[in-house]
DNA sequence: CGAGTCTGCTCAATCGATGGAGCAACAATT
DNA sequence: AATTGTTGCTCCATCGATTGAGCAGACTCG
């Protein structure tokens, strides 16, 4: 009877026996609908006390099996190595919990197969929603979910088959580019185009940001060099190598840059340091993303911070409304006036 | 029969009917032990094909309810806002998956109540292990787990009642302090003690690091000013305020500092920028933790990187060995030679 | 030819929580 | 006294997967 090392967990049947009552009474009391099920308040109190004493915890597996709703919500996220995704995850967890949902989060390291595998696993756990964040192929996840009758939603990168919440990449990028162009002109003493670096040309965000980048140049009467748009991928090394490759070419590397994420910025900074472009040689920068140390330590940089709280507020609005259309919500990012 | 919007998910019974066989045959085939249960390979193949066609996914709730082992492993983590915890989570997920475990991670934002709440929830989901990372009160979590017959383990901050894996804070801190003292002496032209800032005086890591800090001073024949040991908490603002308060005091702020985490470093950097201690006025720094941008952008700083892969290797070794003693494993951190 | 073995499958109990249906016991009403 | 209503519970089927036990039929061998 007494709790041993390898004991079985306390169940409602154990409590029922201890309380000299039935399992259904115990169940009713512990999940709060004992009033509806007309259990006397004295018995209720006795059961509650016993449960506490015995350290009882529901077996969610059993409970969820029986119930119709699981209250589980899944999120797929590419990486935990930057502030943007970190705050997405943290905010998501908090907001899910506030709504009585249990968040399950999985990091897929930008691996398309792992994304699908993780989604499949979440479906096994009977999640009610899957939020695909920055997924390489959101529509595949949506299809998988749809086949299982589970709702899904895209965050950060849009898909065509489920509602998507993303930053307003075009407007954000145009404004960021404008600001960097102004800084660059002030520094050089003349107008000159920027280099665009980072991201994948095939993803919506990158192409929208390129569109904004080009628009801002146009508006300021500056020609863009197509050859200076390097959507070389997200990994730091890719940005570093791309710059290094450019250096040996004719014209070299422009000393004004639009960097497409903090991850790419890491590579850019590495290149800057290694190639000795520091101090007065330092390039004029803009970064579509935010990092506190960069904001503090780098003086010639403009950063846009994606509005994570607003994005997730929108995500949960959609979830609460239960919408499934392929709508696209674009959240304006915030310009950080570096301290 | 056809899949509707609000359909029920496909079960082994559906598949059994479609295949004209029994549910137990389907179950045996799909969970791989059909050889043991002597199911013919033709039937097995037919079932497998059907399952694929129907997009079948096990109901984990049902499966786990029946099985003895859940293969779930929980991790509690304080924040996602720095590289250290980010890489802990990412590595943990990967390693858990490699071992056939399903990781459930929850961020508790350094809130002791949320920690307990999260642990309780994980117990409801029948996790087999809980890893408390940087928990404010690891022993409380251990007690809760023990009452439910669940193993637990502490990471980053040790507890007395469960095995703990942490960095070798004393040795790491002593070496870091030594390096910073050398840099500081080189800069000042004379020996001078450092300021210690960040962390909680009550936590093991902070007190061990202070011990290492003091030891390094002693070894170099430098007196430590007890008044310059500011374990003011982890939040950036706390560090910033502590420095600001010190500035108005007699002696002011020493221009050599040991910062106890990147989070505190954020506050320190803010103070440095706001109070104008930049350029040649910039302090000589050391930080017990690592961040790529700081490493790249700050030139007078030494950083230690906690060895996350080694720490998690040790965690999973303990899990695989099934040990429950309150042993303490200390992993030497790595010194980063800034690029 | 009968006993024993092996193959390929099915039956039914089980895990723990839930909730519809129903049953005593008693009070209130006609 | 008979009917109706209410209160406070209990019984039992159910969710979907798993697994020990068992049952035909085919095959083997003395």
Q: For residue range A263-321, what is the model confidence (pLDDT) as tens digits?
A: 999 999 999 999 999 888 899 999 999 999 999 999 899 999 999 999 999 999 999 99
Burial B224-241 (b: 16+ CB within 10 A, else e): beeebbbbbbbebebbbe
Q: How far apart are CA B26 and CA B273, in angstroms?
A: 66
Task: Identify whether residues B181 and B233 lie together within a single domain.
Answer: yes
The nt closest to A63 (CA vs C1′) is: C17
Mean pLDDT of B274-302: 93
Report in angstroms the alpha-carbon separations of A16 from A43, A55, A241.
11, 14, 67
Residue in the block written with tokens 């899910």: A96
In a domain, A108, yes or no: yes
Task: Identify whether residues B182 and B103 lie together within a single domain.
Answer: no
Would the CB atoms of B9 and A149 count as touching at under 8 Å? Answer: yes
**B46 interfacial to chain A (CB closer than 8 Å):** no
* d(CA A28, C1' D1) / Å: 38
Would the CB atoms of A61 and B60 count as touching at under 8 Å? Answer: yes
- A102 sits in which H/E element: strand A102-107
Q: How far is B327 from chain A (nearest CA, A)?
A: 19
Task: Identify whether residues A234 and A266 lie together within a single domain.
Answer: yes
In a domain, B266, yes or no: yes
Q: How far apart are CA A323 and CA A153, in angstroms?
A: 9
Closest-CA residue of chain A to B74: A104
Q: How far is B119 from chain A (nearest CA, A)?
A: 11
Q: Which are the contacts of A338, defined by CB distance < 8 A and separation ≥ 6?
A: A295, A296, A299, A301, A302, A303
Task: Report CA B55 to chain centroid distance, whole Å.
Answer: 36
Would the CB atoms of A269 and B293 count as touching at under 8 Å? Answer: yes
Task: Identify whether residues A72 and A142 lie together within a single domain.
Answer: yes
> Is A146 within 8 Å of A126 (Cβ atoms)?
no
Structure tokens at A325: 């259309």
The phi-psi region of residue A86 (left if phi > 0; otherwise alpha if psi is between -120 and 50; otherwise beta) is alpha
* DSSP bridge pairs for B154: B132, B164
Would the CB atoms of B149 and A5 count as touching at under 8 Å? Answer: yes
pLDDT value for A2? 34
pLDDT value for B8? 75
* d(CA A301, C1' D12) / Å: 70
B30 vs A1, residue with greater confidence: B30
B64 contacts on A by Cβ (under 8 Å): 61
Q: Are strands A301-305 and A334-336 parallel, antiparallel or unpaired?
A: antiparallel
Alpha helices (H) in B189-307, listed in sequence order: 204-219, 236-247, 262-274, 292-297
**A123 interfacial to chain B (CB closer than 8 Å):** yes
Number of separate domains in chain A: 3
Q: How far apart are CA B161 and CA B324, in angstroms?
A: 8
Task: Identify whether residues A61 and A80 lie together within a single domain.
Answer: no
Task: Identify whether residues B61 and B89 lie together within a single domain.
Answer: no
Would the CB atoms of B124 and A58 count as touching at under 8 Å? Answer: yes
**B237 interfacial to chain A (CB closer than 8 Å):** no
Task: Identify whether residues A110 and A187 lie together within a single domain.
Answer: no
Of B47, B65, B83, the domain-final residue: B65
Would the CB atoms of A90 and B80 count as touching at under 8 Å? Answer: yes
In a domain, B283, yes or no: yes
Structure tokens at B323: 């040990």
Instruction: Say what percent of chain A tops pLDDT 70.
Output: 97
Q: Which are the contacts of A40, defined by CB distance < 8 A and separation ≥ 6?
A: none
Helices A83-98 and A308-321: crossing angle in degrees, nearest 10, is: 40
pLDDT value for A1? 34
Say whether pLDDT at B142 is over 50.
Answer: yes
* d(CA A40, C1' D2) / Å: 29
**Strand C within 7 Å of which CB atoms in A 247-286?**
none
Q: How far is B143 from chain A (nearest CA, A)?
A: 11
Q: How far apart are CA B319 and CA B165, in angstroms?
A: 12
Task: Identify whether residues A156 and A81 lie together within a single domain.
Answer: yes
**A317 interfacial to chain B (CB closer than 8 Å):** no
Q: How far apart are CA A112 and CA A135, in angstroms?
A: 8
The list of chain A residues with pLDDT below 50 reads 1-6, 339
In a domain, A212, yes or no: yes
In a domain, A186, yes or no: yes
pLDDT value for B278? 87
B97 is near strand C: CB distance < 7 Å:
no
Give the dihedral sign, CA A195/A199/A203/A205: negative
Q: For residue range B158-204, what is the model confidence (pLDDT) as tens digits?
A: 999 999 999 999 999 999 999 999 999 999 999 999 999 999 999 99
Q: For residue range B228-282, what is the model confidence (pLDDT) as tens digits?
A: 999 999 999 999 999 999 998 878 899 999 999 999 999 999 999 999 998 888 9
Of A93, A265, A297, nearest to B298 by CB-CB distance is A297
Task: Identify whether residues A188 and A296 lie together within a single domain.
Answer: yes
In a domain, B332, yes or no: no
Task: Identify whether residues B142 and B196 lie together within a single domain.
Answer: no
In a domain, B320, yes or no: no
Of B113, B132, B162, the domain-final residue: B162
Task: Identify whether residues B252 and B150 lie together within a single domain.
Answer: no
Quote the DSSP letter at residue B276.
T
Q: How far apart are CA A189 and CA A192, in angstroms?
A: 9
Q: Which domain holds residue A257?
A: 169-305
Of A162, A181, A209, the domain-final residue: A162
Q: Which of A84, A107, A282, A290 to mutate to test the interface with B (most CBs of B within 10 A)?
A: A107
B39 is near strand C: CB distance < 7 Å:
yes
**B91 interfacial to chain A (CB closer than 8 Å):** no
């Amino acid at each position: 009877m007494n709790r041993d090392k390898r004991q079985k967990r306390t169940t409602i049947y154990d409590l029922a026996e201890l309380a000299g009552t039935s399992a259904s009474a115990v169940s009713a009391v512990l999940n709060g609908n004992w009033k509806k099920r007309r259990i006397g308040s004295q018995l209720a109190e006795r059961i509650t006390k016993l449960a506490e004493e015995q350290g009882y915890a529901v077996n969610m597996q059993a409970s969820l099996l029986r119930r119709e709703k699981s209250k589980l919500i899944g999120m797929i996220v590419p990486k935990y190595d930057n502030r943007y995704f970190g705050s997405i995850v943290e905010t998501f967890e908090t907001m899910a919990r506030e709504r009585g949902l249990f968040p399950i989060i999985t990091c897929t390291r930008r691996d398309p197969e792992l994304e699908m595998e993780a989604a499949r696993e979440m479906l096994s756990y009977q999640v009610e929603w899957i939020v695909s964040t920055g997924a390489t192929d959101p529509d595949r996840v949506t299809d998988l979910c749809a086949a299982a009758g589970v709702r899904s939603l895209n965050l950060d990168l849009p898909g065509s088959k489920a509602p998507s919440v993303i930053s307003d990449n075009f407007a954000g990028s145009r404004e960021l580019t404008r600001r960097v162009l102004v800084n660059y002109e002030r520094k050089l003493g003349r107008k000159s185009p920027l280099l665009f670096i980072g991201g994948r040309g095939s993803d919506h965000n990158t192409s929208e940001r390129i569109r904004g980048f080009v628009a801002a140049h146009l508006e300021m009467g500056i020609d863009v060099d197509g050859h200076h748009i390097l959507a070389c991928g997200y990994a730091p090394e890719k940005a570093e190598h791309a710059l290094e490759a450019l250096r040996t070419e004719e014209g070299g590397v422009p000393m004004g840059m639009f960097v497409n994420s903090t991850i790419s910025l890491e590579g850019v900074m590495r290149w800057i340091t290694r190639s000795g472009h520091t101090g007065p040689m330092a390039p004029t920068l803009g970064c579509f993303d935010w990092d506190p140390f960069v904001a503090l330590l780098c003086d010639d940089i403009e950063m846009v911070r994606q509005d994570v709280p607003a994005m997730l507020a929108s995500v949960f609005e959609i979830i609460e409304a239960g919408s499934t259309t392929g709508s696209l919500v674009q959240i304006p990012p915030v310009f950080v006036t570096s301290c």
